[in-house]
Amino acid sequence: MFLLLPFDSLIVSLLGISLTVLFTLLLVFIIVPAVFGVSFGIRKLYMKTLLKIFAWATLRMERGAKEKNHQLYKPYTNGIIAKDPTSLEEEIKEIRRSGSSKALDNTLEFELSDIFYFCRKGVETIMDDEVTKRFSAEELESWNLLSRTNYNFQYISLRLTVLWGLGVLIRYCFLLPLRFKEFLSKHVHLMCYRICVRALTAIITYHDRKNRPRNGGICVANHTSPIDVIILASDGYYAMVGQVHGGLMGVIQRAMVKACPHVWFERSEVKDRHLVAKRLTEHVQDKSKLPILIFPEGTCINNTSVMMFKKGSFEIGATVYPVAIKYDPQFGDAFWNSSKYGMVTYLLRMMTSWAIVCSVWYLPPMTREAEEDAVQFANRVKSAIARQGGLVDLLWDGGLKREKVKDTFKEEQQKLYSKMIVGNHEDRSRS
């Protein structure tokens, strides 16, 4: 039994009351500002309060764990194993030096021990690799009061349970019905997107709005969830490109087509790259048409890195306006793992999160230069987006989630190693 200090219970009830007041205010003020596009500072305050609560909750959990002498599971964002950042050449030279009684390491071509390097590296990747991490939702170091991100559920003390219960109550009873109602009303595009943004309690910070995409261009952004669309569209007019989806998405798509010209494709048409390119080019060349919004990664990544961009959209030759989107995962994980759960489940999770906090950076427009081919151009745009958003610029294809990796990368390793063996042979024949 732990001691309930008098001021602790006071804090809990105080927090409860202040939260309720906050949400009532939100309730009242949500519709009016949405229509006029005016914002209040309330949401910033909301965010700050939430942050403080999360930090406090984590501390409580750590204390609770120490009382029971157990280990807390702390997810490491940098991997679970200790890695040496040495190159292939250095490591193999070191291995040879340490194992061999022969002094000179320049005349050796191949050693039985060379295998150790590849062996260990291989097993290291089985224990921990960069890419698989990217495809499971980002792990948080502190708990954000959503049981779905919590690993140490059983260490919660009574106080935390009360707070958590309060949180659930508020989220499911206040925020969810409110958002559901909002979600269904749509008449004007921009206004309705804005309402959605408010509905998800999305706190979006737009940077460099002077670089916003103009007509006849292509807007390119990194992709984490379908909400990316809502976030961008609430700040400008875009034409969408995408696959025709069934279900809820299909209904929304059909509704949108009626309002302004978008470019939708059947799944089979998507395979035909020339058809896609042709239609996109037609759209882009018409200067009166809205800028096309494209997510070249091809799949949802968990927003810690930017995967290789598919080159299709960069072949067209129009001006590209890159946009970087970065979510703050503490408030609600926006990542949609499409192989794990479907759209409706995802939407439900979004609606019952605390908030979606993200930053959008509009980067200056880029065009393909004369000596660049589409792939190089795509990589250039990708690096710019990654740099701006503070995301890791990965060389891997987003298709890794579903396909195996290409052989060209394996060749790189083989080339490096061959140089070590055969390169030495050449030295030998010279001397």
Partner 1 sequence: MGSRSSHAARIPDVDSIRRETGFSQASLLRLYHRFRALDWNEKGYLSRVDLQQIGALAVNPLGDRIIDSFFPDGSLHLDFPGFVRVLARFRPVDDEDNRNRDPKEPEPLNSRMNKLRFAFQLYDLDRDGKISRQEMLQVLRLMVGVQVTEEQLESIADRTVQEADEDGDGAVSFLEFAKSLEKMNIEQKMSIRILK
How many angstroms from the chain centroid is the CA of residue 203? 16
Give Cα separations from 16 to 53, 117, 133, 191, 315 (angstroms): 11, 57, 36, 33, 55
**Nearer CB in complex with partner 1: 91/315:** 91
List the one residue out of 310, 291, 303, 153 whose CA is nearest residue 228: 303
CB of 267 to partner 1, least distance (A): 22
CB of 348 to partner 1, least distance (A): 14
Q: Is 107 in the site for partner 1 (CB under 8 A)?
A: no
List the one residue out of 366, 235, 388, 251 whose CA is nearest residue 313: 366
Identify the residue among 30, 57, 137, 347 touching partner 1 (CB under 8 A).
Answer: 137
Residue 303 φ/ψ region, left for φ over 0, alpha for ψ in the -120 to 50 degree band, beta for the rest: left
Q: Is 172 in the site for partner 1 (CB under 8 A)?
A: no
CB of 127 to partner 1, least distance (A): 6
Q: Is 148 in the site for partner 1 (CB under 8 A)?
A: yes
CB of 424 to partner 1, least distance (A): 10
Q: Are 264 and 194 in contact (CB under 8 A)?
A: no
CA dihedral 73, 78, 79, 83 (to 10 degrees): -130
**Nearer CB in complex with partner 1: 181/419:** 419
String of DSSP letters for 251-280: HHHHHHHHHS--EEE-HHHHH-HHHHHHHH
Identify the residue among 2, 40, 73, 172 touching partner 1 (CB under 8 A).
Answer: 73
CB of 50 to partner 1, least distance (A): 20
Q: Which residues contact 379 (CB under 8 A, 6 or more apart)?
A: 308, 309
Q: Is 103 in the site for partner 1 (CB under 8 A)?
A: no
Q: Is 399 in the site for partner 1 (CB under 8 A)?
A: no
Q: What are phi and psi of 34, to 5 degrees?
A: -60, -40
**Nearer CB in complex with partner 1: 76/172:** 76
CB of 367 to partner 1, least distance (A): 32
Which listed range, 12-20, 105-113, 178-186, 313-321, lies at the site for partner 1 (CB under 8 A)?
105-113
Show contacts with partner 1 in window 205-234 (CB under 8 A).
Answer: none
Show contacts with partner 1 in window 297-316 (CB under 8 A).
Answer: none
Q: Is 366 in the site for partner 1 (CB under 8 A)?
A: no
Show contacts with partner 1 in window 151-170 (CB under 8 A).
Answer: 151-154
CB of 177 to partner 1, least distance (A): 24
CB of 133 to partner 1, least distance (A): 8
Beta bridge partners of 327: 358
What whole-number distance in Å separates Cα of residue 317 and Cα of residue 320? 9
Q: Is 98 in the site for partner 1 (CB under 8 A)?
A: yes
Q: Which residues contact 160 (CB under 8 A, 6 or more apart)?
A: 57, 60, 61, 64
**Nearer CB in complex with partner 1: 285/339:** 339
Q: Is 86 in the site for partner 1 (CB under 8 A)?
A: no
Identify the residue among 141, 266, 412, 427 touching partner 1 (CB under 8 A).
Answer: 412
List the one residue out of 225, 231, 224 whose CA is nearest residue 200: 231
- Kindly state the DSSP code that residue 366 receives in the 8-state scheme: B
Give Cα separations from 304 to 124, 135, 224, 270, 416 (angstroms): 21, 9, 9, 27, 29
Q: Is 128 in the site for partner 1 (CB under 8 A)?
A: yes
Q: Is 89 in the site for partner 1 (CB under 8 A)?
A: no
| Interacting residues toward partner 1 by CB under 8 A | 71-73, 76, 79-82, 95, 98-101, 109-133, 136-137, 147-154, 333, 337, 339, 396, 400, 404-405, 409-415, 417-419, 421-422, 425
